[in-house]
């Protein structure tokens, strides 16, 4: 007891000593500053200004501390706080806003777990965007501590919408979120430490539970979003105090607030799936409920802001209008208290009920912060009911002033009403005729950047050729957030554009690495949407990449006509059930009473409904591929996996739970057995590894390792039938240079019969010899040497696998084909054939041609010529048909050729070419193919037909019409 008291006394003395040292340096700095002002001959005015600045800054900080303490006291105990104040919350005055103290109690109890999820969202979604918008010097900003504190957020009131305001299959709530926490956040960059504390966040949170379904869990998903940009403020600590100046500090707050808007303010939503067997595409891509066309006409009797000796005594007013996350600004009118703007705008309204139009007036002051002249709000629900509204709004927070707004509501129709010119709405001004909704879902197989590094991609979207009307501000390029270090990024981000001429407009999407290097691009004409029944598409588009990688981007595109009128309620959202998931209800699997089901079930859900189970019952469905149904492990052991294919994301999700290794598996004791699992996808048709190998962590000294790790493999659905999942259980043999780990057993699971629902199954392990059987193959790997340093790992460029069992069969097949051709009566008149693949890409407006090989017959070079003298190459050109009306049309000549093969009649080229051809030209152009012999550089002395070959005479040609070729087909074409 005496020792602890003495330690506390010593700490108290140290703290007092530090305070005295700080006070000394403050006084010393103050006296030194005053002395320097006098010594350098400065005016006493500088001293007065410095003292005033210090007093004002101290006052602002003190007021902020008092306000923060008051709000934290409110968050801890609302009743005690309200007993000492006169202004009561909104639920006391408004009967449709209810108090939610029971909900606050639940959140307070769950806050230690909820804040961990919030930390994950901040690190993975918000922080990458913040770094991209910071100056380049500090873009490597990283968290060294991220603690959201012990004070949980509160809901000041909850409003539930009923009746005609909602659909029958949804529950809609507005919740007043209040968070004044004691968070402690520390960040580091370039060895410099800065921090944030006392975060203030307040806004109206819209929670939608929809669609409702007639079974547990009653609702398919929950979506959460802010109706407007929430209020955000925080204090800076450590070196961050340098930024605690009005201008620089507000810039930092704005960067963070903009990233919150890009993630959680309408139209952006956080979607939480609850039922894994329901298609949530309709909930992921929700179109706006309408379009608001408004005109900021004028203002009158504004406050005099520019008052002074050299000022006019008037203001330079301008207006900022906010609708959700959209902002619109008028120009400033100089020296006027009754400005006239007549500025027209149009904004997409995602949520009609409960969303507000917020207009703020400011006085423009060059070189200083703009003064506020007042603000006003308009309920968009009233505009939707009236159709047209022209009103004067009194400005709040000022003694004088009002502003005039002219507003009209327009509905979005899925009929092609684009025949009339750009409309002039009831509010005046030229407006757009169409609305374009672009949902960027994900990208697939993006190319790597330098040194094989995985890209950190974002997508830039813009509309070209038919932008919005004069009232639109959404025609500028917009960007998604950056998805770090992945060739298959998932964005799920919506974007809005207004279009005046949809018949000639195009949407262009560019995938960029960290906003600078281009990874791929695609341009989609909007006429494709006009040809669809409901003018919307949800599909993958090929990206035009410089590296030649077969990359794709998945988009949801919807085009709507803008028609003015009163609000029309949308139809009910259809509930689409995934058939494969209905075949095996989760409750049926959980009802099985087996020993392995003793542990709890953990569900990991993503946006496409993938559900993964841990330690589920070992019994597998009858259709599960290669599943071991026996309860006991095999001689080599077994491994427990959960396998599920995600169709929307085109990836295979695998959870490796645990393994069971018998004593006979490895001739060693448990203390030296350190097993880990290695997983990869193998192509059955080529016998090659078609994915990056992934592995679990190593479990030390055990024969029953428990991993519970999840892995994802990018795999197109078309490759499922020809692919297998291989799981190799390995024994780590040490970390010395050249040490090779030992394979304990291998499980190969065919993916052809994979079910949609996730199944947790035990799979038997086999030895490598047992897996081979009759499927022996010759594998040839082309490697890139990456250095000769110790431990340097070479990079595999490609892998070829040749099934030895098929060699004899393939040779016999080719011999039979050759005999069949020679028995054909027309064999003597033929010159040979060429194998081509033709594919047309509408998005790129190009014809993609792949030349594989050519088979020339002996009579091609003449009966007396040695066939080894033939050096063939192929030349391609796009030409117009002589009989068409476009035969004489002048166009850029497109001609390309392969390399030259030496001394052979059966050359193999495997070269690819692109020809720029639009869809109209396909109807009257054809592809001309010519097989030629390369002319030797020296003069030939060969007689007869050999001399004819040396002069470069045509060996054979073919003509292929582009109007009726079979799309994306590989075929042989006869040479004539």
Same domain, 256 and 332: no
> Are residues 232 and 174 located together in one domain of the fold?
yes
What pLDDT sits at residue 249? Answer: 67
781 domain-assigned: no
List all residues 6 or more positions away from 831 whose beta carbon is below 8 Å from its beta carbon: 856, 857, 859, 860, 955, 956, 975, 976
* CA gap 342, 865 in Å, rounded: 86
Q: What does the pLDDT read at residue 508?
A: 92
Domain final position from 750, 768, 786: 768
DSSP class per residue in 201-252: EEEEEEEEE--B-SSTTSBSEEEEEESSPPEEEEEEEEGGGGG-SHHHHHHH
Structure-block tokens of residue 5:
């008291």
**Residue 391 and residue 254 share a domain:** no
| Long-range interactions of 816-823: CB distance < 8 A, separation 24+ | none
Domain that residue 338 falls in: 290-305+314-413
Beta-bridge mates of residue 798: 782
Instruction: Round to whole Å and give the CA distance between 113 and 138.
Output: 31
pLDDT, tens digit, 9 for 90 and up, residues 423-479: 554 444 568 889 999 999 999 989 888 777 888 899 999 998 766 655 555 557 899
For 358-386, the pLDDT digits (tens) are 999 999 887 777 888 999 999 998 898 88
Maximum separation of any 2 CA atoms in the chain, in Å: 118
317-323 and 356-363 strand pairing: antiparallel
Domain assignment present for residue 606? The answer is no
Predicted confidence band of residue 300 (pLDDT cuts 50, 70, 90): very high
How many whole angstroms separate alpha carbon 676 and alpha carbon 766? Answer: 16
- Please indicate whether residue 251 or residue 758 has the higher confidence score (pLDDT): 251
Please give the Cα distance from 333 to 331 (Å, whole number). 7
Say whether both 444 and 409 belong to one domain: no
Q: Answer whether residue 171 is part of any domain.
A: yes
Confirm whether pTM is higher than 0.75.
no
What sign results for the dihedral spanned by CA atoms 702, 706, 710, 713? positive
Comparing C-alpha atoms, which of 445, 893, 395, 319 is closest to residue 713?
445
Instruction: Give me the torsion for CA of 750, 755, 758, 763, rounded to 10°.
Output: -30
The whole-number pLDDT of residue 58 equals 72
CATH code where residue 402 lies? 2.60.40.150
Class of residue 390 by CB neighbours under 10 A (exposed 0-12, middle 13-18, buried 19+)? middle
For the record, the structure tokens of 314 come out as: 């008037």
Task: For residue 430, give the DSSP letter.
Answer: B
pLDDT over threshold 90, residue 347: yes
Residues 454 and 543 in one domain: yes
- Averaged pLDDT for residues 483-504: 88
460: closest CA among 516, 501, 536, 539?
A: 516
Helix (H) or strand (E) holding 370: none
Give the closest residue to 145 by CA, choosing from 114, 123, 121: 123
Answer whether residue 576 is part of any domain.
Answer: no
| Cα–Cα distance, 860 to 822 (Å, whole number) | 15
Total domains, the chain:
6
Residue 801 covered by a domain:
no
Same domain membership, residue 33 and residue 177: no
387 and 451 both lie in a single domain? no
Bridge partners (DSSP) listed for residue 233: 200
What pLDDT score was predicted for residue 571?
A: 61
- Same domain? For 119 and 265 the reply is yes
Among 250-264, 393-407, 557-571, 870-884, which range has the highest average pLDDT?
Answer: 393-407
Compute the average pLDDT of residues 741-768. 78
pLDDT for the residue numbered 338:
92
> Does the structure show a pLDDT above 80 at 301?
yes
Lowest-pLDDT choice from 67-81, 145-159, 322-336, 623-637: 623-637
Instruction: Pick the last residue of a domain from 711, 733, 768.
Output: 768
Strand (E) or helix (H) holding 561: strand 552-564
Total Cβ atoms within 10 A of residue 837: 14
Triad 804, 806, 810: Cα angle to 5°: 130
Select the more confidently predicted residue: 165 or 376: 376
Token pair for residue 823? 């028995």
Model confidence pLDDT, tens digit, residues 72-129: 666 666 555 555 554 455 555 455 677 778 888 898 899 888 888 888 878 777 777 7
Q: Under a CB-based contact definition with an 8 Å cutoff, are residues 861 and 867 in contact?
A: yes
Helix, strand, coil % in the chain, rounded to nearest 5: 25, 35, 40
Closest CA to 321 of 393, 264, 233: 393
Angle at 213 between CA 211 and CA 217, to 5 degrees: 100
Rounded Cα gap, residues 429 and 297, in angstroms: 11
Comparing CA positions, the residue from 970, 972, 975, 883 lying closest to residue 926 is 883
- Region 520-537 average pLDDT: 87
The pLDDT value recorded for residue 296 is 95
Average pLDDT, the chain: 75
Collapsing DSSP states into helix, strand and coil, what is residue 829?
A: helix
| Long-range interactions of 785-793: CB distance < 8 A, separation 24+ | 790/737, 791/737
Please give the torsion angle defined by the CA atoms of residues 842, 843, 845 and 849, in that order, rounded to the nearest 10 degrees: -70
Residue 808 inside a domain? The answer is no
Q: Which token pair is 538? A: 């949800």
Q: Indicate whether 261 and 137 sit together in one domain.
A: yes
- Burial readout 599-617 (b: 16 or more C-beta within 10 A, e: otherwise): eebeeeebbbbbbbbbbbb
Domain-located, residue 424: no
* Inside any domain, residue 667: no
- Cα–Cα distances in angstroms (integers) from residue 473 to residues 50, 319, 422, 815, 937, in the given order: 43, 15, 16, 68, 63
**Same domain membership, residue 504 and residue 443:** yes
- For residues 391 and 101, the model is more confident at 391
Last-in-domain residue among 534, 564, 594? 564
Instruction: List CB contacts of 614: < 8 A, sequence separation 6 or more.
Output: 599, 600, 601, 602, 642, 655, 657, 708, 760
277 and 297 share a domain? no
What CA–CA distance (Å, rounded) separates 749 from 253? 52
Candidates 184, 191, 183, 195; CA nearest to 140 is 191
Cα torsion 280, 650, 436, 517: sign: positive
Q: Find where tokens 């594919």 sit.
A: 839
Say how far apart CA 263 and CA 418 lie, in whole Å: 33
E strands, 569-667, in order: 576-577, 638-646, 651-660
Tens of pLDDT, residues 607-651? 333 333 333 333 333 333 333 333 445 667 889 888 888 776 788
Q: Which two tokens stand for residue 215?
A: 């079974």
Measured distance CA(850)–CA(842) in Å, rounded: 17
Query: Is there a contact between 597 and 614 (Cβ–Cβ < 8 Å)?
Result: no
What distance in Å separates the CA atoms of residue 520 and residue 551, rounded to the nearest whole number?
8
Is the confidence at residue 419, as pLDDT, over 60?
A: no
At 273-294, the pLDDT tens digits run 888 777 777 788 889 989 999 9
Same domain, 123 and 254: yes
pLDDT digits (tens, 9 = 90+) for 680-730: 988 766 556 667 788 898 888 788 888 878 888 888 888 888 888 999 988
Whether the CB-CB separation of 290 and 324 falls below 8 Å is answered with: no
């Amino acid at each position: 007891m005496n020792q602890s008291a003495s330690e506390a006394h010593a700490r108290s003395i140290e703290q007092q000593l530090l305070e005295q040292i700080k006070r000394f340096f403050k006084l010393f700095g103050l006296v030194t500053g005053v002395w320097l002002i006098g010594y350098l001959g400065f005016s006493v005015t500088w001293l007065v200004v410095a003292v005033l600045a210090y007093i004002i800054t101290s006052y602002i900080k003190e007021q902020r501390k008092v306000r923060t303490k008051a709000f934290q006291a409110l968050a801890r105990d609302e009743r005690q706080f309200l007993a000492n104040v006169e202004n009561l919350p909104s639920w006391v005055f408004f009967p449709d806003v209810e108090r939610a103290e029971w909900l606050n109690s639940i959140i307070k109890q769950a806050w230690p777990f909820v804040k961990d999820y919030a930390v994950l969202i901040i690190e993975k979604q918000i922080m990458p965007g913040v770094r991209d918008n910071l100056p380049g010097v500090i873009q490597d900003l990283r968290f060294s501590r991220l603690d959201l504190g012990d004070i949980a957020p509160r809901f000041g009131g909850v409003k539930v919408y009923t009746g005609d305001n909602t659909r029958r299959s949804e529950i809609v709530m507005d919740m007043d979120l209040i968070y004044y926490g004691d968070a402690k956040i520390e960040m580091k960059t370039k060895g410099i430490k800065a921090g944030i504390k006392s975060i203030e966040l307040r806004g109206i949170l819209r929670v939608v539970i929809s669609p409702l379904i007639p079974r547990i869990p009653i609702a398919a998903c929950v979506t959460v979003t802010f109706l407007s940009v929430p209020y955000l403020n925080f204090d800076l600590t450590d070196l961050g105090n340098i930024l605690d100046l009005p201008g620089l500090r507000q810039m930092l707050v704005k960067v963070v607030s903009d990233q919150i808007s890009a993630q959680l303010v309408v139209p952006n939503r956080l979607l939480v799936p609850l039922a894994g067997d329901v298609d949530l595409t309709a909930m992921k891509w929700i179109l706006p409920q309408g379009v608001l066309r408004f005109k900021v006409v004028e203002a009158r009797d504004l406050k005099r802001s520019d008052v002074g000796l050299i000022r006019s005594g008037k203001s330079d007013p301008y207006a900022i209008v906010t609708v959700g996350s959209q902002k619109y600004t008028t120009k400033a009118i100089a020296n006027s208290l009754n400005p006239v703007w007549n500025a027209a705008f149009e904004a997409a309204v995602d949520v009609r009920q409960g969303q507000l139009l917020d207009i703020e007036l400011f006085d423009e002051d060059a070189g200083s912060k703009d003064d506020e002249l007042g603000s006003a709000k308009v309920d968009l629900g009233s505009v939707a009911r009236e159709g047209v509204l022209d009103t004067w709004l009194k400005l709040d927070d000022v003694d004088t002033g009002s502003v005039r707004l002219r507003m009209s509501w327009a509905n979005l129709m899925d009929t092609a009403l684009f025949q009339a010119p750009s409309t002039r709405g009831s509010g005046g001004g030229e407006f757009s005729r169409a609305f374009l909704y672009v949902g960027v879902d994900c990208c697939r197989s993006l190319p790597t950047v330098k040194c094989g590094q995985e890209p950190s991609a974002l997508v830039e979207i813009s509309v070209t050729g038919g932008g919005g009307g004069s009232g639109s501000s959404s025609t500028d390029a917009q960007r998604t957030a950056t998805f770090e270090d992945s060739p298959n990024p998932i964005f799920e981000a919506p974007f809005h554009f207004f279009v005046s001429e949809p018949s000639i407009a195009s949407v262009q999407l560019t995938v960029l690495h960290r906003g600078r290097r281009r990874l791929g691009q695609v341009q989609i004409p909007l006429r494709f949407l006009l040809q669809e029944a409901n003018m919307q598409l949800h599909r993958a588009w090929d990206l035009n990449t410089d590296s030649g990688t077969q990359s794709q981007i998945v988009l949801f595109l919807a085009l709507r006509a803008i028609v003015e009128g009163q609000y029309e309620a949308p139809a009910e959202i259809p509930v689409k059930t995934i058939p494969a998931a209905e075949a095996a209800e989760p409750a049926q699997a959980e009802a099985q009473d087996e020993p392995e089901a003793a542990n709890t079930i953990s569900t990991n859900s993503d946006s496409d409904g993938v559900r993964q189970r841990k330690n589920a019952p070992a019994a597998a469905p009858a259709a599960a591929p290669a599943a071991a149904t026996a309860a006991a492990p095999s001689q080599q052991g077994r491994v427990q996996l959960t396998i599920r294919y995600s169709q929307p994301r085109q990836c295979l999700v695998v959870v490796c739970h645990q393994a069971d290794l018998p004593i006979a598996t490895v001739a060693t004791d448990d203390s030296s057995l350190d097993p880990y699992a290695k997983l990869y996808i193998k192509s059955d048709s080529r016998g090659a590894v078609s994915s990056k190998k992934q592995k679990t962590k190593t479990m030390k000294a055990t024969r029953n390792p428990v991993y519970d790790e999840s892995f994802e493999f990018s795999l197109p659905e078309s490759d499922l039938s020809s692919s297998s999942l291989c799981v190799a259980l390995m024994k780590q043999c040490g970390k010395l240079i050249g040490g090779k780990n030992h394979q304990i057993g291998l499980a190969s699971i065919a993916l052809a019969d994979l079910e949609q629902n996730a199944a947790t199954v035990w799979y038997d392990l086999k030895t490598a010899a047992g897996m081979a059987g009759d499927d022996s193959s010759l594998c040839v790997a082309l490697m890139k040497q990456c250095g000769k340093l110790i431990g340097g790992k070479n990079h595999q460029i490609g892998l070829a696998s040749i099934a030895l069992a098929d060699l004899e069969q393939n040779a016999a097949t080719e011999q039979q084909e050759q005999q069949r051709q020679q028995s054909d009566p027309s064999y003597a008149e033929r010159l040979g054939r060429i194998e081509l693949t033709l594919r047309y890409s509408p998005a790129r407006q190009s014809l993609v041609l792949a030349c594989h090989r050519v088979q020339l017959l002996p009579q091609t070079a003449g009966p007396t010529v040695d066939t080894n003298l033939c050096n063939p190459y192929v030349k391609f050109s796009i030409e117009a048909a002589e009989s068409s009306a476009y035969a004489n049309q002048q166009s850029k000549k497109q001609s390309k050729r392969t390399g030259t093969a030496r001394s052979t009649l059966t050359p193999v080229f495997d070269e690819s070419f692109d020809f720029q051809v639009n869809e109209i030209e396909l109807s009257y152009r054809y592809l001309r193919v010519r097989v030629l012999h390369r002319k030797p550089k020296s003069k030939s002395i060969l007689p007869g037909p050999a001399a004819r070959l040396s002069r470069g005479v045509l060996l054979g040609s073919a003509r292929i019409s582009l109007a009726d070729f079979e799309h994306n087909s590989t075929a042989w074409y006869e040479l004539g």
